[in-house]
Amino acid sequence: MKALLATLVASTAWIAAAQATECPRKDALGTSRVLAVDAATYPRVGLKSFPQTLPLGDHEVALTFDDGPWPATTPKVLAALAHECVRATFFLIGKPASEHPELVRKIAAGGHTIGHHTWTHRSLKQIKPGETEEEIDHGISAVEMALHGVATTTPSTPFFRFPGFESTPATLDFLQKRGIVVFGTDLWASDWNPMTPKAELKLLTERLKIAGRGIILLHDPKAQTAAMLPAFLRYLHENHYRVVQLVPAGAKAVAAGAEIAK
C-alpha cells in the first residue's frame, strides 16, 4: 500500500510540474513556477490564521479553492484556469468528492493540486473531540478513493484546510504529527457573502493591491466566483502578477523541477 501511494504521489506531482510549464497560448497568464511545500518547515501557513506564510515574492500569488467539487460551477472554474494555463490548489470536501468522483479526477487531470477539507465541512470547534479525527480522516479517505481508487487516510497530497479556519490545539497537533500542512490564507474575496461578480472582483483586487502577494482563498461552488474568475485572471496578467503552483515536497518526481519552500 505504501509503495502504491508513493507511486501515485510521484506521478500526480510529475503531471502537475510538467503541465505547469507547458501552455499552447503564448499570451496566457500561465504558471510561473512550482513551489514544493515541506511540512517540516511549513507545518502551518497563511497570515490570516498563523504567524508564518509561504515564501512568495512580490507580485506572486497562489490560487486556492475550497468546498468543491460542485458540478454546476467547478467545471467553469477549471475552464477559466485552463484558458490561462494556471494551476491552483483545490481543497475538496469528502462527501461531494465521493458523489462526483469524475469531477475530482477532472481537477487532477488539469494538473491542479488536490488538498483536503473534511468530510462534510463541519466546524471542528463545534463537534466532540472524539469526532474530529473521524471528520478529517473520512474526508481524506473519500477524496483518495475518488482520485485513486484507494480508500486510505494517508493523503497523497498532505495539504489540509480547516472549515472556517476553525482549528483547535488538538487538531493542529494531530495533523502536524502526520506531516500534513495546514493552510490558512493571506487574503480572500469574501465570496461566502452574496455579491455580484463585479463587486467581488473589485474587493479582491483592492485587497491584492495592498498585500502585493500571497495565498488567495476562493470557493469554486460559488457562481459569482466562477463568473468573476476570467476577469480576475486577466487582471493578474495585465498587472504583472505571477502564479505559483503548490505541491508537496515529498514528491521525488517534482523535486528536480520545483523550488523547495525554505
CB of 12 closer than 8 Å to CB of 156: yes
The pLDDT value recorded for residue 251 is: 61
The candidate with the shortest Cα–Cα distance to 62, out of 28, 29, 92, 87, is: 87
The candidate with the shortest Cα–Cα distance to 29, out of 72, 64, 80, is: 80
Torsion of CA 233, 238, 239, 243, to 10 degrees: 40
Q: Can you read off the three cell numbers belonging to residue 181?
A: 500542512
The pLDDT value recorded for residue 1 is: 45
Instruction: Tell me the CATH architecture of domain 2-260.
Output: Alpha-Beta Barrel (3.20)
Contacts of 145 (CB under 8 A, 6+ apart): 98, 101, 151
Q: How far is residue 100's CA from residue 70's CA, in Å, rounded to a whole number? A: 8
User: Which sequence spans correspond to the domains of the chain?
Assistant: 2-260
Looking at the DSSP bridge assignments, the partners of residue 49 are: none
Torsion of CA 236, 242, 245, 251, to 10 degrees: 170
Tens-level pLDDT at each residue, the chain (262 residues): 443 444 344 444 434 444 445 788 889 999 999 999 999 999 999 999 999 999 999 999 999 999 999 999 999 999 999 999 999 999 999 999 999 999 999 999 999 999 999 999 999 998 988 899 999 999 999 999 999 999 999 999 999 999 999 999 999 999 999 999 999 999 999 999 999 999 999 999 999 999 999 999 999 999 999 999 999 999 999 999 999 999 999 764 444 457 878 7
The candidate with the shortest Cα–Cα distance to 92, out of 63, 72, 71, 121, is: 121
Q: How far is residue 200's CA from residue 193's CA, in Å, rounded to a whole number? A: 9
Q: How far is residue 100's CA from residue 226's CA, in Å, rounded to a whole number? A: 18
